[in-house]
Structure 1
Amino acid sequence: MKRRKYPKANKMMLVSLGIMTALSLPIQAEEEIFQLDETVVTATRTEQKVKETPASVEVITRKDIETMGAERVVTALKLALNLNLSEASMVGNQVSLRGMNTNQTLILIDGRRMAGEDAGSTANVYELDRVNINNVERIEIVRGPVSSLYGSEALGGVINIIMRKPEKPQSTIGLSTGSKQQNASYHLDLGKQGKWAWTFDTLFTDIQKQRRSETTNMYGPRQFYNISGTYDLAEGKNIDVFYERMSEHLKTTDYTDDGGREYFTNTRNSYGLTYRGRTTRGNYELRTYYNELEKNTDQLEGPGSYSDFDRANYKTWAIDGKNTMRLQDDHVLTFGGEYRTSEYRGTRLEDNGDAVSTVTEHGISKSISEKSVDYQAVYVQDEWKLSDKLLLIPSLRYDDSNRFEDSLSPKLGMTYHFADNFRLKTNFGKGFKAPSISELYMKMTRRPIPTRTVIVIGNPDLKPEKSTSYDISLEGEKGAAFGKLTYFDNDVTDLIGTETTRAGSVSTSKYVNIDKARIKGVELEAGRHLSNNFTVKTAYTFLDAKNAKTGEFLQDRAKNRYSVQLHYDDAQRTGISSILWYEWVRDYRYKDDEDKDTDYNYGTLNFTINKKWNERYSTYFGVDNILDKKIDELVLEGRLWRVGMNYTF
């Protein structure tokens, strides 16, 4: 395949950068636009204003989700800065922050870890679609390592999806359809009933079939059930409980509907309990939670002819706690710890684990076994206000496990207000990613075609991946204009990859600490409130992500991404909010099945609109890739639309 040339790419970049520069210039009649200061809790585990926290953060609110007409979490994240959500064949979406690998982003639900796939090629790629978007209150994104507070996997950053809590008695019915899926949802908020407050959510989704080259996506029904409650134990003391269930019955087809196909029947159950309280000096909480994902995969060569199957069960149980205290007016101390255990029982461990047995399905017998890993950690953080202009936040976490070496993760963040409405922020930290159970103990044998055998073997001697990172940002507001410029640099060592040997039709891969990476780049955001209703924004990301050993640019990443966005919001209870944006992607590196590199360039025009007809009824419409750009290799499927409504009573 020939590399596609776009001679206008450099001109487009200059135009985009020119717009960014223009946004920062003064206008004749500058007006002050009133804005509420957004707050974030993920960056420091305490509530803090976005402008104050040193970390590079982004908050997607419930209103943003509604304006985007987001029928899934991936749609809600489309405008997030330096977050790669590119699709990859049938296996879902990448979740890559600042050019790091998908499995180096920590995805949390209300600060909780979720049991799920843990191999390098599957970790996180399904997770965003296993969240009930109807029940999401806000999404907080922290870019850069946060291992000093959250431990393993938080090298690239954290995406914390915060669910809705009981507020006031009301019910909402939602219906939507589109190119990707159809949804029917129901939200019931009972409000305060005595000492209890309850909320219930259901979402029924039918994922549409999409033909992709020689196969299809995973399509079929998915259901969600969410229940959460809060009990007032005493003045300033509460107990929170929740239960969540997700089930999916998906399938794919190859070539024709009469040919081979795979079936995926998966169920996840989650529940937990939190005790929290407030004092005159701070707040504290203690919680425990458990979640389990059961996966059943069946592969057919043709109608009624089973060729393979997999069974997997992932479990996570944790108990954690934290305490935040104001020691002095200029010191807020947060400290806490956790104990967590992860367990995996599956056929892809074969007989390489404990409690070995044999499972027989469809006349096929396979070995199945299990392994578990225990984690312990403690952390401490000090929010130190040295003066009205300078805030320092040092933090430190110690992680230990029964399966690999311990890790110490320090971080230092600083915010300096050097002028009114202008700030300098900088962060330095170390992060790590512990090897997963699959990377440690996998023993998988598969025959994707009758004449070929693929074997993947784990390595119990793996070391954690480690990173040393820093970033520096300049941000501020002047009148109706605002902007932020960030440089970031990540040095990653002991990356876990595979070494492959081939003997005839058999290829054997073993997990090893083999690679090093140097990932650095620039993030630029700028905008102007043209009026109380219109805002123009632009964003640009330059990424230099290379294998430190070979010097090659890392695959599945774009060197340049930039967008221009026009936002409209009439700020009325019965009104319209809308976004029109164009995104350019340049030098997106893709490696095909024959290990041939190709750099792709493309652009997409997108539009969403949300109309509130009255205080009860609203509708929305969205269309992505209006110009119908298609690239099969990147799963860029052309024009996609969605339309929906919500009615509250």
Structure 2
Amino acid sequence: MGSALLLTMTPAWAQDAATPPPPSARQSVPAETDAMDGEGAALEDNIFQMAPVVVTATRTAQDAATAPASVTVVTQEDLRRAPVGDLTDAIRLAPGISLTAGSQGRRGISIRGMDSSYTLILVDGKRVNSMEAVFRHNDFDIGLVPTEGIERIEVVRGAMSSLYGSEALGGVINIITKPVAPKWTGGIDLKAQTPTVGANGEELRSSIFLSGPLIKDTLSMKITGGFNHRQAWNGARNPGSPVLNADGEPVTRGDGSVVNFGDLATLEGRNDHNGRLSLNWTPTSQQTITAEYGRAYQNRIGEYFIGGTFGDADTVVHRNDAVLGHKGKWDWGNSEVRGYWEGLDSGVDGLVQNNIVAEANATAYLGFNTLTVGGEARWIDLESDEFTSGAASVHQQALYAQDEMSLLDNLSLLLGARLDNHENFGLHFTPRAYAVYSPITHLTFKAGVGTGFKAPTLRQMSTESLVTSCRGRCGIIGNPDLEPEKSTNFELSANWNMASWGLSATVFQNNIRNLIDTPRGTGVDPIGTDPETGLPLYVPRNVNRARLRGVEATASKSFGNVVRLSANYTFLESRDLENDVQLAYRPKHTLNGQLDVMPMVGLKAFVRGQYIGPQLSGTEEVDPYALFDAGASYDINKSFGVNAGVLNIANSRTEDEEGYVFQERGRTFYAGVNARF
């Protein structure tokens, strides 16, 4: 992403500090924390800013450079300058991140090789629960928050189950929205995109933000909203590889033309809109009561292929949610209590999901110790005609505690643990320890070990659940014999930050027992065939032992306030140790690079590239590919700006090849405007 101003700000949820954090959390660092790698330099008009404060790693305010975790920060300025359609666009260039794919071009986020279902997505610290529940490979969560309403995005790499529970086995992404404003302010962002290859695919996005006081110093409000329309994009209709039916014959349309894999790799059309109203009541300067209500409508239109049939799909999801919470500041620290409900309805598909969460936490500053304790209870109900009983549900509770200890001025130690009680799988204990040491001003060492567990989803365990995969060429049914996954995560990093350059290296390893994997595709034998659709069927299974390990490296160099170079590289080795084979759909090498230039005040330009290395599809290796983008933005004044550019300049294509499960849109031009008041 483009470089941006990194703001030191008050946390957006229960991590506001009633008193200053301990010394280990207050260490100042040169202002070169990058919006993409958390360890580089940020380019702005005149000066370098202080490194950002992050809250996700510990639920308390921490300097990003010395937080006890590997943290990436994406700022609002990043989101304005380049075309960000959803969360995947915002963070895909971060270290350790790769994108996974489902049908119709839907995308998921993998952290350090873990499946996208192990990435916990939060909005202001509240978990978003619909991923993998209403639909397999749904991506409805990643486009939920309008970009104009986002203050920043924090990405924590590595297991965080000791704080956030089972879904945080791979890491946590916290979308932190803009706080309510003390005076009326707002913004509007409009972006349009059009591909130069294939058919259709034009896209228009808009988002708004408005906030201000209703009663001065007592009652404030915030409104956010977004709209997105994208025509379904069909890749160039060249012969490619024909899709074969169960008899081995090419599949044809009604007009007799042959369907090839390029046709199946289309990006589905979208008609989405959402809105949210938040009210903040502050009866005293130390107490805040918050009430929120949000609605979202998401409609996806595209083409599908199931059991030899080629046709159209039309999916609708209605989402409603409500939040009520209290935050207090006390002589000893801060506290938060809140409850929230989320309801999802897939309309014609007859799927309904309801999630209810009640949680409380408190942080006390006790000399050189910062103690955080909390608990939560969650209820998840899923109704569907595919279940014989008509519904399935699960209930779980948890308690957690964490102590951040400042042992020396330059040495801190974090110890934490969580105890989960799962309705189907009983008690699970997940401890974590992390140390941060800064022997000199510019050098920081980090080392940590964490554990995690993840219970199978309701649909993963149900033999009554059948979902399509393999771009419509296979089906997946549940497996009631699945066991919870357990992991132990290690990481060691060194970060060197100077006034105009920065270097970092992180070594990580994740040892997993009972990893849930679903082998499918070329070279994998199905367990049977669905009698209604003729699809070959596969089931998720536990891999007794798996290992994911690798290296993340970042580098950045600024030349005055005009030019900046940055890059990051991720090496990933993923093995099924039981069968001594590589895990599929995990690129071994990923390289990101970016050049930022600011030739004059208000004008910024960037060129960036991404290399995605070879990976397995089934049992066959698919070739690597590269993407290159370029763009520029110009702030006409403090209130109005424009931007434009081109994505995938070289027109790299993956949709015509059978092995690729992730579809990249061809060369695409974009333009946008934003206004702030």
Give the TM-score, by structure 1 length.
0.84
Counterpart check, 1:343 vs 2:384 = no
Name the amino acid aligned to 1:416. Answer: Y
1:358 corresponds to: none
Deviations for 1:225-254, whole angstroms, at most 9, x for unmatched residues?
111121112230001111111102221135
2:491 corresponds to: 471
2:330 corresponds to: 279
1:420 corresponds to: 441
Distance verdict in 2 for CA 1:192–1:46, change over 3 Å: farther
Q: Is the 8 A contact 1:317 1:340 kept in 2?
A: yes
Distance verdict in 2 for CA 1:251–1:539, change over 3 Å: same
Counterpart check, 1:624 vs 2:647 = yes
Counterpart check, 1:315 vs 2:354 = yes
Counterpart check, 1:187 vs 2:209 = yes
Name the amino acid aligned to 1:98. Answer: R
1:588 corresponds to: 615
1:142 corresponds to: 156
Counterpart check, 1:44 vs 2:68 = no
Instruction: Note the 1:194-593 alignment, pairs <5 A.
Output: 194=216, 195-212=218-235, 213-215=262-264, 216-253=266-303, 260-297=311-348, 310-328=349-367, 330-349=368-387, 351=388, 353=389, 369-444=390-465, 456-459=477-480, 461-497=481-517, 500-502=526-528, 507=536, 509-569=538-598, 572=601, 575-589=602-616, 591=617
Distance verdict in 2 for CA 1:81–1:327, change over 3 Å: same
Name the amino acid aligned to 1:621. Answer: A
In the alignment of these two chains, the number of paired residues is 578
- The 3-state SS of whatever aligns with 1:532 is coil
Name the amino acid aligned to 2:622. Answer: D
Q: Is the 8 A contact 2:395 2:422 kept in 1?
A: yes
Q: Is the 8 A contact 1:214 1:254 kept in 2?
A: no
- The 3-state SS of whatever aligns with 2:78 is helix
Q: Distance in 2 between matches of 1:173 and 1:347?
A: 41
Q: Is the 8 A contact 1:607 1:622 kept in 2?
A: yes
Instruction: Note the 1:19-98 alignment, pairs <5 A.
Output: 34-98=48-112
TM-superposed deviation, 1:584: 1.9
TM-superposed deviation, 1:446: 7.3
TM-superposed deviation, 1:602: 1.6
1:128 corresponds to: 142
Superposition RMSD on alpha carbons, in Å?
Answer: 2.6
Name the amino acid aligned to 2:190. Answer: L
- The 3-state SS of whatever aligns with 1:63 is helix
TM-superposed deviation, 1:91: 5.0
Name the amino acid aligned to 1:374. Answer: H
Q: Distance in 2 between matches of 1:582 and 1:117?
A: 29
- The 3-state SS of whatever aligns with 2:557 is strand
- The 3-state SS of whatever aligns with 1:631 is coil
Select the residue among 641, 645, 663 that pairs with 1:635: 663
Q: Distance in 2 between matches of 1:447 and 1:172?
A: 40
Q: Is the 8 A contact 1:468 1:492 kept in 2?
A: yes
1:22 corresponds to: none
Name the amino acid aligned to 2:621. Answer: T
Give the TM-score, by structure 2 length.
0.81
Q: Distance in 2 between matches of 1:178 and 1:137?
A: 24
Deviations for 1:46-72, whole angstroms, at most 9, x for unmatched residues?
111012212000111112212224243
More RCO (CA 8 Å, sep 6+): 2
Q: Is the 8 A contact 1:33 1:479 kept in 2?
A: no
TM-superposed deviation, 1:117: 4.2
TM-superposed deviation, 1:515: 4.5
Q: Distance in 1 between matches of 2:420 and 2:304?
A: 44
Q: Distance in 2 between matches of 1:455 and 1:254?
A: 16
Q: Distance in 1 between matches of 2:448 and 2:441?
A: 21
Could you list the runs of 5+ residues in structure 2 that have no partner in the other structure? 1-45, 195-201, 236-261, 520-525
Distance verdict in 2 for CA 1:420–1:233, change over 3 Å: same
1:605 corresponds to: 628
Q: Is the 8 A contact 2:209 2:224 kept in 1?
A: yes
Deviations for 1:373-418, whole angstroms, at most 9, x for unmatched residues?
1110000000100001110001000000211122111000000112
Distance verdict in 2 for CA 1:338–1:124, change over 3 Å: farther
Could you list the runs of 5+ residues in structure 1 that have no partner in the other structure? 1-31, 298-309, 354-368
- The 3-state SS of whatever aligns with 1:391 is strand
TM-superposed deviation, 1:187: 2.3
Name the amino acid aligned to 1:636. Answer: E
Deviations for 1:144-186, whole angstroms, at most 9, x for unmatched residues?
0000000111111001111222213123333221036202333
Q: Which has the higher strand share?
A: 1
Q: Is the 8 A contact 2:517 2:541 kept in 1?
A: yes
TM-superposed deviation, 1:619: 0.9
Q: Distance in 2 between matches of 1:448 and 1:158?
A: 26
Q: Distance in 2 between matches of 1:193 and 1:347?
A: 48
- The 3-state SS of whatever aligns with 2:624 is strand
TM-superposed deviation, 1:538: 1.4
Distance verdict in 2 for CA 1:91–1:267, change over 3 Å: farther
